[in-house]
Amino acid sequence: MSDKNVEKAIKALKRGEIILVYDSDEREGETDMVVASQFITPEHIRTMRKDAGGLICTALHSKICESLGIPFMVDILEFASQKFKVLKELYPNDIPYDEKSSFSITINHRKTFTGITDKDRSFTIKKLTELVKEQRFNDFGKEFRSPGHVILLRACEGLVKNRQGHTEMTVALAEMAGLTPITTICEMMGDNGEAMSKSETRKYAEKHNLVYLNGEDIINYYLDKFE
């Protein structure tokens, strides 16, 4: 049954639909909205902003980050800490559910205005995915500026073999779907100011006819069939 659910999620991603992914009780205990970035629209951003409410981020496969030449944010902070000493003190070595943050740089496409609108953010993400798909990696700096309003996440090398965050799980799903391995994700927040409960996010999925996945199912499927 879990394999069939992963396959349903893959098909939904290929249709440009949002799916929901719950990581685990032992990790963040959060459900993320997920869409394959090559199909991103202003409507997707609006839904994530209004119905999810967390941080909208775009996750990239580590090989893409290598080709673009973009590092983890912690690497930038470590390098800059030689001049700005406080950055060394800010190093995130005490994340309760993880060893290292997946955050990278933030970008806007150079043809956006402020970069924050639904239209601007979806345009930036769409154009990034197109650039990657066309392997125009040397044009990255020509087309985009930083800082911006699209937060990039760098997936760990080996994906779910080495890290089981939403970044790695959703990029693995895109890879398994044969899509450009870039996803846009957003945590679902509840009205109580906490992460939306598993039962609430399941109800949301049922109400909106969305595929709902447990992270464990993605990890097992990927390791069994793609490694």
Does 57 qualify as catalytic in the annotation? yes
Q: For residue 43, with 0-12 CB atoms within 10 Å meaning exposed, 13-18 middle and 19 or more buried, which class applies?
A: exposed
The two three-digit tokens of residue 123, written as one number: 């345009």
Catalytic residue (choose from 187, 217, 221, 222): 187
Q: For residue 137, with 0-12 CB atoms within 10 Å meaning exposed, 13-18 middle and 19 or more buried, which class applies?
A: middle
Q: Which residues in 181-218 are b (16+ Cβ under 10 Å) and which e?
A: bbbbbbbbbeeeeebbeeeebeebbeeeebbbbbbebb
Does 32 qualify as catalytic in the annotation? yes
Catalytic residue (choose from 75, 97, 138, 139): 97
Cβ pair 154, 104 in contact under 8 A: yes
Does 22 qualify as catalytic in the annotation? no
Does 186 qualify as catalytic in the annotation? no
Q: Which residues touch 27 (CB under 8 Å, ≥6 apart)?
A: 97, 98, 164, 165, 215
Catalytic residue (choose from 17, 23, 28, 57): 57
Does 221 qualify as catalytic in the annotation? no
CA distance 167 to 170: 6
Catalytic residue (choose from 7, 130, 143, 149): 149
Catalytic residue (choose from 23, 28, 30, 32): 32
Residues assigned a catalytic role:
32, 57, 97, 108, 149, 187
